[in-house]
Amino acid sequence: MGELRTLYPPVEPHAHGMLDVGDDQALYWEVSGNPRGKPVVFLHGGPGGGSAPMHRRFFDPEAYRIVVFDQRGCGRALPHVADGADLSVNTTDHLVADIERLRIHLEIDRWQVFGGSWGSTLALAYAQRCPERVTELVLRGIFLLRRAEIDWYYNGGAGHIFPDRWEEFCAPLVGADPGEHPVDTYHRLLHSPDPQVALDAAVAWSTWESATSALLPHPERVAEASEPRFALAFARIENHYFFHRGFLEDGRLLHDAHRLHGIPGVIVQGRYDVVCPAASAWDLHKSWPGSELTIVDDAGHAANEPGITHRLVEATDRFR
């Protein structure tokens, strides 16, 4: 592979604001890089993870007009789930419509769409709905929102690889009906009238994902995931989507992959990704003619693992 590419240096936004998307919801958005450059939109993970300054750094700021935003209910979007944001108006269809509203608001005709994990899910849903607005797709850690994928990660499969972390994830479930799916039990706990029960469940949910996302342990990331405000938004929004099976027919994103025909696409996948196993990336690649799949043999799920960062920056450089 030679010398690994790394993230571009930090860059500050030159424009930002709040976009009213209806339903008493407003998104925080920002633009950095070249105001006249090639437009790209970064779709963050979770759902509920929010955006971060690092997300701007996958793109050459001299070549790209970099759009980053916080999806409904998290980050700097208003209202925040920790403050009681209405989750009934937070669905996949709502988020796809929000992306289009943001594109129109920023007067962008077509843009590259970049997303990992849940960001890849949302990128696929958006591109299948609005293919004429997408110049390229750069995707990482593919999640197709299939029931089997949710079962793998939240009903014991991944626990065979992380038994210590799985025990911590299951701690709030003590006393629950053993026949109930953990996602369903967590749904009740996360919306408990007892704030401490809800917070304990949120921290357990959030730290499970943080602790299992990288090939090697990163205790500082687990600590960040346990911060109460972040954990409540992340866990409640993510669980809300998985409880409702993503508001999509099972397998729909794979079934509709033919709608991506003609859109150049790069898929970067960690071989040892426990959160979103490589089988999903493989299935998508086989169903999407013209897509390119790279499996990074020494990586898990996280975007900032060296081999994954290298391949993502390599892809955005090629498309700039």
Instruction: Please give the Cα distance from 232 to 238 (Å, whole number).
Output: 10
Opening angle at CA 239, ends 163 and 50, nearest 5: 100
In sequence order, which ranges of 106-218 are alpha helices (DSSP H)? 118-129, 147-154, 163-170, 182-190, 195-212
What pLDDT does 138 receive?
99
Q: Is 174 within 8 Å of 152 (Cβ atoms)?
A: no
Summarize pLDDT for 58-104 with one digit per residue, the tens.
999 999 999 999 999 999 999 999 999 999 999 999 999 999 999 99
What pLDDT does 1 receive?
55
Q: Provide the 8-state DSSP code for 81.
A: G
Domains within the chain, CATH numbers bracketed: 15-146+248-319 (3.40.50.1820), 148-246 (no CATH)
> What pLDDT band is residue 294 in, cutting at 50, 70 and 90?
very high
φ/ψ (deg, to 5) at 316: -70, -30
Summarize pLDDT for 150-191 with one digit per residue, the tens.
999 999 999 999 999 999 999 999 988 988 999 999 999 999
What pLDDT does 175 receive?
86
Is residue 215 classed exposed, middle or buried when 0-12, 13-18 and 19+ CB atoms within 10 A define those classes?
A: buried
What pLDDT does 2 receive?
72
Summarize pLDDT for 235-287 with one digit per residue, the tens.
999 999 999 999 999 999 999 999 999 999 999 999 999 999 999 999 999 99
Instruction: Please give the Cα distance from 219 to 222 (Å, whole number).
Output: 5
What pLDDT does 178 receive?
87
HSE value, Cβ hemisphere, 13 Å, CA-based, for 15: 11
pTM of the model: 0.97
Summarize pLDDT for 97-128 with one digit per residue, the tens.
999 999 999 999 999 999 999 999 999 999 99
Residues serving a catalytic function are 117, 273, 301
Instruction: Please give the Cα distance from 88 to 303 (Å, whole number).
Output: 30
Tell me the three state secondary structure of residue 38. Answer: strand
